[in-house]
């Protein structure tokens, strides 16, 4: 993704960061699209992973979301990401192609290589 594309996307979503000792070590972004919240970006620096930061970022999005359903798309090959979301109650959804076409703007090739996971926000 080019810097210009990232800036455009950032303007369409809410971003926040996680700092540890004054250093930005994680970021996440989400966006309300139609009737769902999409997790658009979630990253933790490698040397800070497996310390609960990703969980805190995810929990913040879930708390801040104003929709009952939260979706995240990722690459099929990103088994570590899929496992992370499943560990936090997200389920692989069977209608990935339909969801990607309805809620995201991505090329057909990306649709072929992606999965969508979802969860329903507790009341």
Q: Which residues pair with 120 in a beta bridge?
A: 69
Q: Which two tokens stand for residue 64?
A: 């801040």
Tell me the C-alpha distance between 88 and 91, whole Å: 9
* Per-residue pLDDT at 123: 66
- pLDDT tens for 88-112 read 999 999 999 999 999 998 889 999 9
The answer on pLDDT for 68 being more than 80 is: yes
Question: Is 5 a residue whose pLDDT tops 80?
Answer: no
pLDDT in tens, 50-63: 999 999 999 999 99
Q: Which pair of structure tokens corresponds to residue 68?
A: 């009952």
How far apart are the C-alpha atoms of 7 and 108, rounded to whole Å? 23
pLDDT at 31: 94
**C-beta of residue 72 within 8 angstroms of C-beta of residue 89:** no
pLDDT digits (tens, 9 = 90+) for 18-49: 998 899 999 999 999 999 999 988 999 999 99
The CATH number of 3-120, from 3.40.630.30, 3.50.30.60, 3.90.1300.10, 3.40.50.10490, is 3.40.630.30
Mean of all residue pLDDT scores within the chain: 91
Q: For position 3, what pLDDT does the model report?
A: 81
pTM of the model as a whole? 0.87
Quote the Cα angle for 22-47-83, to 5°: 115
């Amino acid at each position: 993704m080019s810097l210009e594309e990232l800036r455009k996307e950032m303007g369409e979503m809410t971003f926040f960061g996680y700092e540890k000792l004054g250093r930005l070590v994680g970021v996440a972004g989400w966006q309300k699209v139609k009737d769902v919240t999409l997790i658009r970006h979630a990253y933790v620096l490698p040397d800070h992973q497996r310390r609960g930061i990703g969980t805190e970022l995810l929990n913040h999005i879930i708390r801040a979301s104003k929709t009952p359903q939260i979706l995240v798309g990722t690459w099929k090959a990103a088994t570590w990401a899929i496992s992370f979301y499943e560990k936090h109650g997200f389920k692989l959804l069977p209608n990935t192609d339909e969801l990607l076409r309805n809620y995201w703007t991505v090329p057909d090739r990306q649709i072929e290589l992606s999965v969508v996971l979802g969860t329903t926000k507790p009341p």
